[in-house]
Chains A and B, each alone.
Chain A
Amino acid sequence: AQKITQTQPGMFVQEKEAVTLDCTYDTSDPSYGLFWYKQPSSGEMIFLIYQGSYDQQNATEGRYSLNFQKARKSANLVISASQLGDSAMYFCAMRERGNNRLAFGKGNQVVVIP
């Protein structure tokens, strides 16, 4: 069963605008972690942001914030003030309790245009 769902098609975003990438997940484990990674064309998987299932507040890391809606099993990434260097694939991933086995979504392609 698919645990992470990212369904948006490729997106074009105007530079300096905000963009929201959707991610829904499925788990019965009360303890889990949610990640967002960026993968530019070079292939490196760059860590962006992390949200623990017990965290009371939404995670933020600079221009990245995570809109965590636990009851809806949703963990959307918000990128504020898009930059040209934000053009990449973005992956949502989940880790369940006690292991480093990440389940990844299929990714969202984002292209930032000037």
Chain B
Amino acid sequence: KAGVTQTPRYLIKTRGQQVTLSCSPISGHRSVSWYQQTPGQGLQFLFEYFSETQRNKGNFPGRFSGRQFSNSRSEMNVSTLELGDSALYLCASSGSPDSNEKLFFGSGTQLSVL
């Protein structure tokens, strides 16, 4: 069974540009959540999707958005990139947002904003 797949693995953008990151969950998983990891702030929750609906959102500006498709694949978009958006973006999937479900992460997308 394939794991969580995130593409691309690396991205280099300049300030002001926008970027779209993709996450394909484990087959059969319908819940996808996104996290940002930086050396200063650690791992921070961005948002969570289940059955194409956003269920939770972290404390990030509106430049960060996401969506989930009917096949459970998810994308997150960051518009008007800032230097501080440079981070590792991790996606996690589980069967459902249930307290007993395990979450599995992908390898992440390393975004560098110049």
B99 contacts A31, C-beta separation under 8 Å: yes
Interface size band for B: 20 to 34
Cα of A37 to Cα of B43 in the assembled complex, Å: 12
B99 contacts A97, C-beta separation under 8 Å: yes
B43 contacts A99, C-beta separation under 8 Å: no
Query: Any chain B CB within 8 A of the CB of A42?
Result: yes
Interface flags, B18-60, vs A, CB<8A=1, else 0: 0000000000000101010000001101001010000110100
A100 contacts B88, C-beta separation under 8 Å: no
Query: In the complex, what's the smallest C-beta–C-beta distance from A78 to chain B, in angstroms?
Result: 19
Cα of A102 to Cα of B43 in the assembled complex, Å: 9
Query: Any chain B CB within 8 A of the CB of A68?
Result: no
B88 contacts across to A, CB distance below 8 A:
43
Interface size on A, residues (CB 8 A): 28
Cα of A42 to Cα of B88 in the assembled complex, Å: 11
B107 contacts A100, C-beta separation under 8 Å: no
Q: Which 8 A-B pairs have the closest CB atoms?
A: A45-B105, A104-B43, A44-B107, A100-B33, A100-B97, A43-B108, A101-B45, A100-B48
18 A–B pairs (Cβ distance < 8 Å), ordered by A? A35-B102, A37-B105, A43-B110, A45-B92, A45-B105, A47-B102, A47-B103, A53-B99, A93-B43, A95-B99, A98-B99, A99-B48, A100-B50, A100-B101, A101-B56, A102-B43, A102-B103, A104-B42
